[in-house]
Amino acid sequence: MKFNVRPSKCIIFSLVAIVLNCFLWPGITDAQIRQPKTSFTVSMPDPGSQQYHVHLIYSQGQKALNDFHMCAWTPGFYELIDFSSAVTGFNAKDEKGNNLPWKKTDSNTWQVANPKRRPLIIDYDVKAIVPFVGNIYLDEHYGYIIPGGLLMYVKDALRHPVTLEIKPYAKWPKYVATGLKKVPKKKNIFYAADFDELYDSPLLMGNLEALPSFTVNGIPHQFAGYNLGDFDRRQFIADLQKITKSAVAFFGNIPFRHYTFLATGMSHGGFGGVEHLNSTSLMLGNKGLMAPDRKATFYEFLAHEYFHLYNAKRIRPVELGPFDYSKENKTDLLWISEGFTDYYEYLIVRGAGLIDDQQVLAGYQEHIGNYENTPGHLYQTLSESSRSIWSVRGAPTTRDKEELSKTISVYDKGCALAMLLDLKIRHETQNLRSLDDVMRLLYHDYYQVKKRGFTGPEFWITCKHLAGVPLDELISYSTTLKPVDYPKYFAYAGLAIDTNTHHLDGNNLGITAAVKDSSLLIKAIAWNSPAFKAGLQQNDRLISVGHKKAALELFASALKDYKTNDTLSITVSRANKTIELKLKLTSWDTRFFTINPMPHPDQLQMQIYNGWLRHSEHLPKKKNR
Ligand SMILES: [Zn+2]
C-alpha cells in the first residue's frame, strides 16, 4: 500500500460519467467451478441510505452451533478496522424458512444455533459511509466494496470456494469492476477459489468511467474509475501501458488472466492505494493529477501498486498468507514487501522511459534522508519496524510523541537496503547478477514451485547464492542499528553521496510542507530542527508564520526579518484545535545525502550505473543460475 500527499495546484475539475457496457473479461469454465460452501448476494436498493444488504447461504458443513465472523482487517492494509460495528439487522433462518436463535459471542462473531443442521440463510445490513480504499462505501453515485469489510466468513469454509452475486442499484449501469472471475453465462456472479481470493478482490460500481483498455503480453488491463477529474486520458493510458510493460518485463510472466485498476476520484489533493491479487484500489486527488509537478510521483505510485502484484502478493514473507482474518498477521520482513516495492517503483518508471536518472536518484536520496534524519534510526531496527506497523484504525494512539519519534519507516530503510543489496550483488558479480535476479528466483522457487512464502533465512540464502559472497553487513542493517556505510555501496556505481553534517542557521525551520485543500500541511519535520524542538508535528496545518498567513511563497519573506536566536510565532491547526507555538531559531545540524557522479569512474562502475538505471543498451545479461 502507499499513501502520499502532494501539492495540488490545478483547479480544473470536470466530472465525466460514461455509461459502461459490459467488458469481455475472461471468466472461468463450468469445469473450473468447485461447489461453493458459501454464496453471497449483495444488493443496494436504496444507495442514499448508504447501506448494503447481504444475503448469505451457507450450504455445507453446518454444525449445531455455527460462528459467522466479520474480518478484523483486510489484505494489503495493515490496520485493524472495526468492520463489525457497521453490521445491523442480523437474521438467521434454515432452508425451510424457520427462524433460528443467534447471539453475539464476541465483537466480531455471530453464533447461530442450528439443531437440525440444515443449510443456513443469513441476512444482514452493513453501513458504508467511509470513502476510503480500506473500507466499504455507498452513495447515490457509486459503490465500493472490499469484501472483507462486508462479507462474513465461517472458519471451516475459509479454504473453500465461494460465489458472490452483485445487484447494482437499478439506476446504475450493470457493470461491476473487479478482479474476480465471472461465473459463465451469469450476470455479475463472481467466483473465488477461497476466501483469501475473495477478500483480496475489491469491487467498484456505479456511474463509472472506463478508460481505454490495453493488453500486456496478451493479458487485458482495465482502468475503471469514478469522478476521475480532468486529465489527458489518452496520454495517461499510453504511459500506464509503458509502466505495466516495464514491470512485467522484469519477470516475463503474468500470474493471472486480467488486471483491473479501480480508481475513485476525491476532492483532496493526495493519493493512496492498496494492492490486491489482480487489481488495485486507488484513491486519487482528482485535481491536476497529471500536472507537471505531480506526474512523476503519480506514475511512481502506480508502479508501486502494480509491482505489488509480484512483490507482496506472490513474492512474500511466509506469514503473509494464508491469512488469519481475526487478528494481525505480523512479520519481521515487511520491509521486503514495502521497502523493495518503493525501491523498484523508480526503476520501473525509469525503465518505461518516463523519468530520468536524476529523478530516480532524488527518490533514493529522499528515502535515505527520511531514515537518517529521524531519531528513530537510533532506536528501531527494520525487523522491529516491520512487526510494529500494525495499528488500530480510528483509535487514539497509545504511543506518545517520544515513543513515535523512536520508530522508523519500513518504506524508507527498506528502500535503502534494497539499493545497497542491488549494488553489492552487481559489484560482486561484475554486473552479471543483481537484485532483479533475487526477485525472479524468489518468484520461481517460492511462489511458482513451493507455492508458499519465504522465511528470513531463506531470503538471505537466495541473496547470498546470487551474490556469491557473504552478506553479513547487509543482514546486520536489517536486524541491528549499525550505521549504514552508504559511500562504499554508492561507489560501486561510480557515485558519491554526501554524508557530511551541514550547519544550518535558525532561519531554516526544518519543515517540509505541501499545499493541500488550499492550506499548507506539514509533511515532515527534520530531526533536531527548530520546528522539531518546538513540537510541530507531521500533518499540522499551518495557519500563520510570524503573524503572516502561511503560504509556501511567504515562508522566505516571513523569515527574512528574523535572525538566529530570535523567537518566531507559528500557529497551526491540529485535530481541530488552534495551537500557537514559539520557535527558537537556533542553528542546527543536518545531513542532505546528495548523490553525485564520481569523476573518472572505471569500466565496471559505468556498467553497474548503466545497468542499474535501466539504460537498455547496458542491461546486464541474464543467465540461468
Ligand atoms: Zn505498498
* Rounded distance from Cα 335 to ligand 1 centre (Å): 10
- Name the amino acid, one letter, at 434: S
**How close is the Cα of 220 to the center of ligand 1, in Å?**
23
Q: Is residue 401 within a helix (H) or strand (E), and if so which, with residue range?
A: helix 401-404
What is the pLDDT confidence band of residue 25, given thresholds at 50, 70 and 90? very low
Distance of CA 385 from the midpoint of ligand 1 (Å): 15
Distances (CA, A) of 496 to 170, 485, 589, 595: 62, 12, 21, 6
pLDDT of 523:
77
φ, ψ of residue 476 to 5 degrees: the values are -65, -25
Q: What is the DSSP letter of 155?
A: G
Question: Could you tell me if 423 and 492 are in contact, meaning their C-beta atoms sit under 8 angstroms apart?
Answer: yes
User: How do residues 415-472 score in pLDDT, each as one tens digit?
Assistant: 999 999 999 999 999 999 999 999 999 999 999 999 999 999 999 999 999 999 999 9
Mean pLDDT of 21-46: 68
Beta 271-275 vs 2-4: how paired, if at all? antiparallel
pLDDT in tens, 176-231: 999 999 998 888 999 999 999 999 999 999 999 999 999 999 999 999 999 998 89
**Per-residue confidence band for 483, with pLDDT thresholds at 50, 70 and 90:** very high
Instruction: Please give the distance, rounded to the nearest whole angstrom, from the Cα atom of residue 305 to the centre of ligand 1.
Output: 6
pLDDT at 294 over 90: no
DSSP state of 99: B
Q: Can you read off the three cell numbers belonging to residue 460?
A: 538471505
Q: How far is the CA of 274 from the centre of ligand 1 (A)?
A: 7
Task: Kindly tell me if the per-residue pLDDT of 10 is higher than 50.
Answer: no
pLDDT over 70 (residue 62): yes
The average pLDDT across 501-530 equals: 80
pLDDT at 17 over 60: no
CA–CA separation, 517 and 427 (whole Å)? 46
> What is the 8-class DSSP label of residue 458?
H
**What's the CA-to-centroid distance between 240 and ligand 1, angstroms?**
18
Sequence-distant (6+) residues with CB within 8 A of 183 are 27, 28, 33, 163, 189, 190, 191
Q: 55: Cβ–Cβ under 8 A, 6 or more apart, which residues? A: 40, 41, 42, 43, 121, 122, 123
DSSP output for 267-310 = SSS-EEEEE-SSEEEEEEE-SSTT-HHHHHHHHHHHHHHHHTTT
The CA 136 to ligand 1 mean position distance, Å, reads: 20
Q: Which is it for the CA torsion 265, 267, 270, 275, positive or negative?
A: negative
- 459-471: pLDDT as tens digits: 999 999 999 999 9
User: Mean per-residue pLDDT for 594-613?
Assistant: 96
| Residue written as grid cell 532483479 | 436
C-alpha to C-alpha distance for 299 and 285, rounded to whole angstroms:
14
Tell me: pLDDT of 598 over 70. Answer: yes
DSSP state of 220: E
Q: How confident is the model at residue 1, as a pLDDT?
A: 63
Distance 341 CA to ligand 1 centre (A): 6
CA dist 85 and 437 (Å) reads 46
Q: What is the CA radius of gyration of the chain?
A: 26
545 Cα: distance to centroid of ligand 1 (angstroms): 35
Q: Assess contact for 29 and 184: CB atoms under 8 A.
A: yes
User: What is the whole-number distance in angstroms between the Cα of residue 585 and the centre of ligand 1?
Assistant: 37
pLDDT of residue 558: 60
Average pLDDT on 43-54 reads: 98
Could you give the percent of the chain with pLDDT greater than 70?
89
Tens of pLDDT, residue by residue over 88-138, are: 999 999 999 999 999 999 999 999 999 999 999 999 999 999 998 999 999
* Whole-number pLDDT of residue 554: 59
pLDDT for 562-579, tens place per residue?
A: 888 889 888 998 878 899
CA distance 60 to 50: 32
Which is higher by pLDDT, 368 or 376? Answer: 368
Predicted structure pTM score? 0.88
CA quadruple 265, 271, 275, 278: dihedral sign: positive
Say what the pLDDT of residue 324 is: 94
* Domains of the chain, each with CATH number or no CATH: 19-207 (2.60.40.3650), 334-492+597-618 (1.10.390.10), 502-590 (2.30.42.10)
Q: Which residue stretches of 112-199 are H helix?
A: 195-199
Beta bridge partners of 392: 80
The half-sphere exposure of 551 on its side-chain side, counting CA atoms within 13 A, is: 7
Distance from Cα 340 to the centre of ligand 1, integer Å: 9
CA nearest to 79, candidates 449, 319, 417, 395: 395
Q: Is the pLDDT assigned to residue 14 strictly greater than 60?
A: no
DSSP structure class, residue 80:
E
Name the DSSP letter for residue 484.
Answer: P
Distance from the alpha carbon of residue 612 to the mean position of ligand 1, in angstroms = 22
Q: What are phi and psi of 585, to 5 degrees?
A: -80, 60
**What distance in Å separates the CA atoms of residue 418 and residue 465, rounded to the nearest whole number?**
16
Model pLDDT for residues 315-328, shown as the tens digit of each residue = 999 999 899 999 99
DSSP run (H or E) holding 28: none
- What spacing in Å lies between the alpha carbon of 317 and ligand 1's midpoint? 14
What's the mean per-residue pLDDT of the chain?
88
CA 318 to chain centre: 19
Q: Write the burial class of residue 301 (CB in 10 Å: 0-12 exposed, 13-18 middle, 19+ buried).
A: buried
